[in-house]
């Protein structure tokens, strides 16, 4: 333990989590209803109800409840691929050999479904204002790969991206947007809910999200044809026949009525959870305001995040030396400076959970041969301009200097005050 102030702080008796489920009681009533009525499979009142709630909240005309946000993204890739390139032969993906532009700074669940349909991800660098896909870099990507017709963008940590600008770029190039709103349920951009800007949109009810079913996701669209296709594909693509007839590849992706019961009980508390998360963000911002750090940013004029995770970004001049390998990291403590690794170790010492920013997709071993586009063009080309810093890899910089703070909405103000003091001690 390199935390030099360990003796000043006593660990919490109970762990303060990054973001754990907050349950209220109604969830169990709906689960019990599924049990008592024997609707335990992939049909039932709970599923019907949460699809209605998702439609009403998002403003989309149709919603399909699925087993995970990743399943929803996979179905969105399949829908978009068939719309753009036609029905593939059995054994071939809907994106077979086609490049797809994708957010670089995100969890890999945003990107993996492209591979499921045999597409080729090309990663688009991040902009500094919201930590989301950069519209300028996206325009540059279309100059390099003008044949691309599909863009998958994620709203990082519950903060909306610049959807008007991104949509304008896509419209100029006649491309479809798939919106990964897994982390941003309840967040708005210009008064409109995230998860409603794309042709196909996806949200998540994973255990650590703003509301949860312990698992589960939702595909959102204005197309009844698309919704019906996903309902069919997600239940093994069975045809309307008295026996099991299959003419397309199917999946076991439908949400269970039991999981839907938990989600149903959570929906009434969405706004309450967002308010609690925002209060956490604001307390961090106030408590750390005189340190050489910044909170994860958002467009205060046009967007309202759901504040799912509060993050901190250390000023470049206040970073001590930190080197990361593939699975390990080391740093050198310097007076008046710190780094994500030191602070995360200090938080772990007091029994509080933080974590690094998502490692960008273009830095992941599995995707290192894929294209990566910055504002300056090909981010893989290590030109003199790149080395001199005139071409910036924003995603890598945020990963190197940023980290996620404990953001559990059950954290007390006293616990958060101690976390703030521990962070302050790291800069002494």
Region of residue 97 (phi > 0: left; psi between -120 and 50: alpha; otherwise: beta): left
Q: Which helix (H) or strand (E) element contains residue 66?
A: strand 62-66
What phi, psi does 314 have (nearest 5°)?
-85, 135
DSSP bridge partners of 404:
311, 355
| Cα separation, 139 vs 137, whole angstroms | 5
Q: Give the number of other CB atoms < 10 A from CB of residue 341.
A: 18
Q: In this structure, are residues 398 and 297 in contact, taking their beta carbons and an 8 Å threshold?
A: no
| Cα separation, 197 vs 219, whole angstroms | 13
Q: In this structure, are residues 32 and 192 in contact, taking their beta carbons and an 8 Å threshold?
A: no
Q: In this structure, are residues 133 and 124 in contact, taking their beta carbons and an 8 Å threshold?
A: yes
DSSP 316: G
DSSP bridge partners of 180:
154, 202
Q: Give the number of other CB atoms < 10 A from CB of residue 421.
A: 14
Q: In this structure, are residues 32 and 243 in contact, taking their beta carbons and an 8 Å threshold?
A: no
| Cα separation, 312 vs 158, whole angstroms | 14
Q: In this structure, are residues 391 and 385 in contact, taking their beta carbons and an 8 Å threshold?
A: yes
Task: Give the list of residues 6+ apart from residue 343 with CB closer than 8 angstroms, or none.
Answer: 312, 354, 403, 422, 423, 426
Question: Which residues are identified as catalytic?
Answer: 209
């Amino acid at each position: 333990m390199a935390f030099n102030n360990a003796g000043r702080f006593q660990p919490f008796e109970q762990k303060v989590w990054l973001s754990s489920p907050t349950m209220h009681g109604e969830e169990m009533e709906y689960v019990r209803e599924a049990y008592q009525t024997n609707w335990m499979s992939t049909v039932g009142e709970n599923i019907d109800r949460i699809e209605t709630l998702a439609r009403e909240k998002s403003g989309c005309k149709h919603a399909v409840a699925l087993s995970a946000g990743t399943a929803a993204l996979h179905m969105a890739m399949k829908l978009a691929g068939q719309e753009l390139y036609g029905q593939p032969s059995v054994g071939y993906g809907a994106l077979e050999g086609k490049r797809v532009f994708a957010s670089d700074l995100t969890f890999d669940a945003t990107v993996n479904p492209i591979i499921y349909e045999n597409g080729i991800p090309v990663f688009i660098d991040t902009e500094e204002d919201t930590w989301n896909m950069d519209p300028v870099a996206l325009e540059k990507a279309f100059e390099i790969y003008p044949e691309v017709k599909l863009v998958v963008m994620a709203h990082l940590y519950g903060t909306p991206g610049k959807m008007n600008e991104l949509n304008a770029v896509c419209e100029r190039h006649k491309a479809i947007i798939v919106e990964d709103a897994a982390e941003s349920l309840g967040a708005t951009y210009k008064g409109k809910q995230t998860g409603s800007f794309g042709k196909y949109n996806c949200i998540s009810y994973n255990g650590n999200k703003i509301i949860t079913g312990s698992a589960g996701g939702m595909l959102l669209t204005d197309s009844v044809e698309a919704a019906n296709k996903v309902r069919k594909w997600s239940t093994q693509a069975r045809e309307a026949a008295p026996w099991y007839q299959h003419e397309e590849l199917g999946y076991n992706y439908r949400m269970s009525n039991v999981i839907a019961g938990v989600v149903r009980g959570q929906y009434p508390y969405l706004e309450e959870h967002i308010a609690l998360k925002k209060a956490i963000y604001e307390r961090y911002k106030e408590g750390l305001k005189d340190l050489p750090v910044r909170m994860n940013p958002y467009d205060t004029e046009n967007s309202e995040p759901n504040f799912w995770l509060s993050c901190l970004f250390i000023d470049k001049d206040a970073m001590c030396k930190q080197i990361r390998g593939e699975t390990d990291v080391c740093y050198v403590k310097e007076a008046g400076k710190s780094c994500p690794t030191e602070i995360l170790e200090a938080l772990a010492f007091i029994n509080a959970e933080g974590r690094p920013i998502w490692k960008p997709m273009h830095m992941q071993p599995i995707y290192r041969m894929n294209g990566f586009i910055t504002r300056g063009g090909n981010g893989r080309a290590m030109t003199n301009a790149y080395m001199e810093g005139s071409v910036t890899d924003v995603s890598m910089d945020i990963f190197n200097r940023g980290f996620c703070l404990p953001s559990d909405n059950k954290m007390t103000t006293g616990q958060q005050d101690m976390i703030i003091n521990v962070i302050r001690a790291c800069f002494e």
